[in-house]
Amino acid sequence: MSIIVKFFASLREHVGKSELHIESTDALTCAKIWAQVCHEEPLPSHVLMAVNQEYADPNTRVHEGDEIAFFPPVTGG
Amino acid sequence: MKVELTSHIFHPWTRIHAFEEDELRALKGKYGAVSTFVGTMRNEGDTVDTLFLEHYPGMTEKTLYSFSETAAQRWNILDTLIIHRVGEIQAGETIVLVAAWAAHRAPAFEACRFLIETLKSQAPFWKRETLKDGVRWVH
């Protein structure tokens, strides 16, 4: 399956990419995607994530065509 | 209920007046209370040159709409308005306006408070400061 992974703010700079596509034949979760993209670096506990623009958690399952995003704690307002 | 992200300076009191005139005309006489929160960009230190507000296009708007829907389900309110800056912003400029209209003050106050608190803790916005010697993300 093909999915889009996005990174925002300080995490984009940490990872060095704003967006990438990954292909996989495995069943994926957000945590597995992080591990794959970040070369097995542990997922920091403060990192937030979204699947298709809705908040998700590390165990959320990902499906074909989904958009996954990882970002740091928010600082709006 | 309205949500707007803008990269331009806006004047909160003008926008509240315009919203009442344009969107709430039919509700004139129905609302007895409007509760507002206006946030202004602070400058944390004299080394900051510019401030930039990043967001997640699509998710930020959806998140703010979903907060507005939750507020409408939870409290007896008539309408809400959220305006938030994105992109470059200068200290002293309005960064956010949240307003809630209701027949009575209690739901207006509570919905307004809920909207700004959930925005601050959950809406995907990130502040970046450009300093003389580099860039710093606000924590």
Q: Are strands B2-6 and B77-85 parallel, antiparallel or unpaired?
A: parallel
In this complex, do B126 and A71 lie within 8 Å of one another by their Cβ atoms?
yes
SS in 3 state form for chain A?
A: CEEEEEECHHHHHHHCCCEEEEECCCCEEHHHHHHHHCCCCCCCCCCEEEECCEEECCCCEECCCCEEEEECCCCCC
Q: Domains in chain A: how many in total?
A: 1
In a domain, A77, yes or no: no
pLDDT in tens, A3-47: 999 999 999 999 999 999 999 888 899 999 999 999 888 999 999
pTM (whole model) above 0.90 = yes
In a domain, A31, yes or no: yes
In a domain, A25, yes or no: yes
Domain of A20, CATH number, reads 3.10.20.30
Q: Minimal Cα distance from B53: which residue of A?
A: A76
ipTM exceeds 0.90: yes
In a domain, A14, yes or no: yes
Instruction: Find the CB nearest A77 among B59, B62, B120.
Output: B120
Judging contacts by C-beta atoms under 8 Å, the chain B residues touching residue A50 are: 56, 59, 124
In a domain, A30, yes or no: yes
Give residue A50's domain range: 2-71
In a domain, A76, yes or no: no
pLDDT in tens, B59-75: 999 999 999 999 999 99
In this complex, do A75 and B121 lie within 8 Å of one another by their Cβ atoms?
no
In a domain, A22, yes or no: yes
Whether residue B123 lies within 8 A of chain A, CB to CB, comes out as: yes
